[in-house]
Amino acid sequence: MSEGKPVIGILGGTGGLGTGLARRWLQAGYQVIIGTRDADKGLSAVADLQRVMAERGVGPVEVSALDYAGTASAADIVVLSVPFSHQADVLTSVREQLQGKVLVDTTVPLRPPKVSLVQLPESGSAGQIAQDLLGEGVHVVSAFQNVPAPRLKEDAPLECDVLVCGNNKDARAQVIRLVEAAGMRGLHAGQINNAAAVEALTSVLIFINRQFNSHAGIGITGLDA
């Protein structure tokens, strides 16, 4: 941990969402490990993150790249940011290293080519699949499915909320702190299978983005009333 902050590992950290989250957390002073199967891509991602942080005038940042097992071992909180089709394989490969930790699942169960059509898995949600697969020794928390990755990469305020689902309240609270560090409001949104709502909403947002040529997100209204 650096300054009491958890070390964050991002499995699939070279993708769009992973890159956006890494930028936000590095900028907020967190140590980030990019987890990737491709060592060259990992080095390149680290160099890119260092360059972008320097361009933004952010001081030296703690960022490195490791393979999936190394990332899951070294990090305090592990974020999964891979396509749904790889979710089960990747999680199975790091099941041991994740025991006792919080796993943040960002998976959206899209089924190409009809990605704007809600097609939830039989188990209900990708979040539930992750929890079932990892067992009770891992606190799975689902988040970030509705955040537009292109906006996340930018150095600008993000106008959207993040719905945070998981069976353990304290684990949800830890993830809400990471949401806030990334510049958004995080909200407790219920048990892990409530991720179904958030995952399904991503298809709706894709449908909306096609109409507006936008990078839409969601907000919860009426909380101040």
The residue ranges that bind its own copies (CB under 8 A) are 116-118, 120, 124-125, 148, 151, 159-160, 163, 165, 187-191, 193-194, 196-198, 200-201, 203-205, 207-208, 211-212, 214-223, 225
Tokens representing 134? 């990892």
**Min. distance of Cβ 216 from its own copies in angstroms?**
5
Tokens representing 61? 């940042």
Rounded distance between C-alpha atoms, residue 193 and residue 126, angstroms: 8
**Min. distance of Cβ 218 from its own copies in angstroms?**
6
**Min. distance of Cβ 172 from its own copies in angstroms?**
11
* CB of 29 or CB of 121, closer to its own copies: 121
At 151 the three-state DSSP class reads: helix
**Min. distance of Cβ 222 from its own copies in angstroms?**
5
Contact 169, 188 (CB under 8 A): yes
Residue 44 CA: distances (Å) to CA of 10, 23, 34, 51, 203: 15, 14, 11, 11, 31
* CB of 36 or CB of 145, closer to its own copies: 145
Tokens representing 7? 């070390």
At 137 the three-state DSSP class reads: coil
* CB of 113 or CB of 221, closer to its own copies: 221
Residue type, 33: I
Rounded distance between C-alpha atoms, residue 195 and residue 19, angstroms: 22
**Min. distance of Cβ 133 from its own copies in angstroms?**
19
Crossing angle, helix 126-134 and helix 84-93, to 10 degrees? 20
Of the candidates 198, 181, 73, the one whose C-alpha atom is nearest the C-alpha of residue 142 is 198
**Min. distance of Cβ 219 from its own copies in angstroms?**
4
DSSP annotation of 122: T
